[in-house]
Structure 1
Amino acid sequence: MTIRFPRALWQNRELCWRLAEREVLGRYRGSLLGLAWSFLTPLAMLAVYTFVFSQVFKARWGTLENQGPLGFAVNLFAGLIVFNLFAECANRAPTLVLANPSYVKKIVFPLEILAGVSVGSAGFHALTSLVVLAIFELIAFRGLPYTFIWLPLVWVPLILGCLAFTWVIAALGVFLRDIGQLVGVIVSMLMFLSPVFFPVSALPLQWQPILTLNPLAQVIEQTRMVVIAGEHPQASYLIAGTLIAGLACELSFRLFQKTKRAFADVM
């Protein structure tokens, strides 16, 4: 089977980049602080979550209990970055095509790159949050682990998974308008069914295998391993995760390509 989606994105990389840049800048255009909001927003949410879970509920993070609220905040933030990247793509996916009717009517416009634009925009905000995380780690642990360099490979399955999910939901969203409500509920549930506010090891043993079936759980745990714990990622995750996500991406891309012929008629 010939893999098609990398070629489609690569051929339109310049257009994809320009649209992603326009989307990022357009979100903050006219605001007083501009791009600074991309740093301030995650910081504000981090402060609220850290206060509620570490001070109100007195939650501690296992091996980092001696670090107190700051150690909890670093682990929480690492999980939030991964989840927010997925959530931003998922929440936009149902209306991704519907919000751009002018593109649908242009026969020459490659609609498939809209997923790449969405993931690229979400990726920008994830990168700004990573800068904040690095600063927090320097304050809390007085250094960054060298295993931080593994993060791009750890995130390959995440990026491919977000692309696959976006293509499927964007296509379904054209024909099933209720899909947006369903995705919103699923994303809210996944926030608490993913190890964002707790490590997988905090769960009873009988529940741990079930939670690890959640793909986000794997990415979050591997991210914490390389950016906080200073451990190398699991080779099985890198290989199997990338292959499975790549296959899902290709199948989703082909589904989108087949269904997009009917977009104009439905809209």
Structure 2
Amino acid sequence: MSAIASGELTTPGLGGGLRDIRQSGFLLKLLVRKELKVRYRGSVLGLLWSYVKPGVQFIVFYVALGVFLGLERSARNPEGLSNYAVYLFSGIVLINFFTEALGNAARSIVNNGNLIKKIYLPRELFPVASVWVSAVHFFPQLVVLVIGCVLAGWHPNLIQLLAAVAGFVIVALLATGLGLLFGAANVYFRDSENLVDMLLMVATWASPVMYAWSMVHDKLGAGWFAVYQANPITIGVELFHYAFWFPTTDGSVAMPPNLFSLWLFVGLGVAVAILLLGQFTFRRLEGRFAQEL
């Protein structure tokens, strides 16, 4: 009433963006619980699938790459990676979080179309809830990773623990920003889902999850390697390697140069920029979500 009296009009269907998420914590929790219940409805294993799927994925990659292709260091292959199992699984845990978060966030608006057409609530809640659901699946895998690292002689210092937090934050911000961008675009162009699927396939291999960064440096040279290293997912994976894998080695392995003095800030900057771009695009398009759905 005060807005009408003062002559101010607001555009229907538009909110305050991500700022509204802080005021809608209860709704966010409800959406996360709903997503988890719907996903595991009728499932025998339920949340245990968070252990089974990455476990099978790890075994396949470890046998194919570590054993058959010789990436695991051994007496016959001294040039391989020390504790390749820890190296591999620490990357898989983070990349699985990204792929699940972005894949679900990109479909979240369309999948909740019936709810969006009936009531108004901050639409950013749906992509953000998808990222939170992925985080719920991420932490059981993280527990398994920590147990494996401890068995391998893991003794991290504070900087290494902070590196793990920084890596997760970078990837979470990136997934949220891209989720907002593609979630909004998918309402108007359903081809966005196929584009996201291709992007996720490339992301798994375009970051040093299953191979060493030095292999890329040797093949591409310093110039193109800098382009490769600017990928926030690459930076997040390397921070995870530094946090979980590096302390289990003898310390003779080399991490990417300038990881903390340069690339950490590049990763945060790119992730925040994509988050802002995703929020801007989302707010420009959300006004017609109900009509398009």
Instruction: Give the TM-score normalised by structure 2.
Output: 0.80
Aligned to 2:156: 145
- Choose 217-226 or 233-242, whichever is displaced more: 233-242
Task: From the CA coordinates, give the structure whose radius of gyration is larger.
Answer: 2
Contact 1:212 1:218 in 2 (8 A): yes
Aligned pair 1:249/2:275, yes or no?
yes
Shift of 1:168: 0.3
Provide closer, same or farther for how the CA distance between residues 145 and 128 of structure 1 changes in structure 2, counting only shifts above 3 A.
same
Percent of pairs identical after alignment? 25
Provide closer, same or farther for how the CA distance between residues 255 and 210 of structure 1 changes in structure 2, counting only shifts above 3 A.
closer
- How many angstroms apart in 2 are the aligned matches of 1:182 and 1:249? 18
Contact 2:36 2:133 in 1 (8 A): yes
Aligned pair 1:169/2:182, yes or no?
yes
- How many angstroms apart in 1 are the aligned matches of 2:73 and 2:131? 30
1:37-186 alignment to 2 at 5 Å? 37-60=49-72, 71-139=83-151, 141-146=152-157, 147-186=160-199
Provide closer, same or farther for how the CA distance between residues 60 and 209 of structure 1 changes in structure 2, counting only shifts above 3 A.
farther
Note the alpha carbon deviations across 1:170-204, whole angstroms, 9 max, x for none: 01101111111122122112221211111211221
Note the alpha carbon deviations across 1:144-179, whole angstroms, 9 max, x for none: 413224422332221111110000000110111111
Provide closer, same or farther for how the CA distance between residues 208 and 235 of structure 1 changes in structure 2, counting only shifts above 3 A.
closer
Task: Give aligned pairs, total.
Answer: 261
Aligned pair 1:216/2:233, yes or no?
yes
What 5-or-longer segments of structure 1 have no aligned partner?
none
Contact 1:61 1:71 in 2 (8 A): yes
What secondary structure, in the 3-state scheme, does the structure 1 residue paired with 2:109 have? Answer: coil
Aligned pair 1:189/2:206, yes or no?
no
- How many angstroms apart in 2 are the aligned matches of 1:8 and 1:238? 29
- How many angstroms apart in 1 are the aligned matches of 2:281 and 2:81? 46
After superposing on structure 2, the runs of 4+ consecutive aligned residues of structure 1 that deviate more than 6 Å are: none
- Choose 225-234 or 22-31, whichever is displaced more: 225-234
Give the aligned residue type for 2:279.
F
Shift of 1:251: 3.0
Instruction: Give the TM-score normalised by structure 1.
Output: 0.87
- Choose 210-219 or 41-50, whichever is displaced more: 210-219
What 5-or-longer segments of structure 2 have no aligned partner?
1-15, 248-254
- Choose 243-252 or 175-184, whichever is displaced more: 243-252
Contact 2:17 2:122 in 1 (8 A): no
What secondary structure, in the 3-state scheme, does the structure 2 residue paired with 1:185 have? Answer: helix
Aligned to 1:11: 23
Aligned to 2:8: none
What secondary structure, in the 3-state scheme, does the structure 1 residue paired with 2:121 have? Answer: coil
Q: CA RMSD in A?
A: 2.6
Give the aligned residue type for 1:172.
A
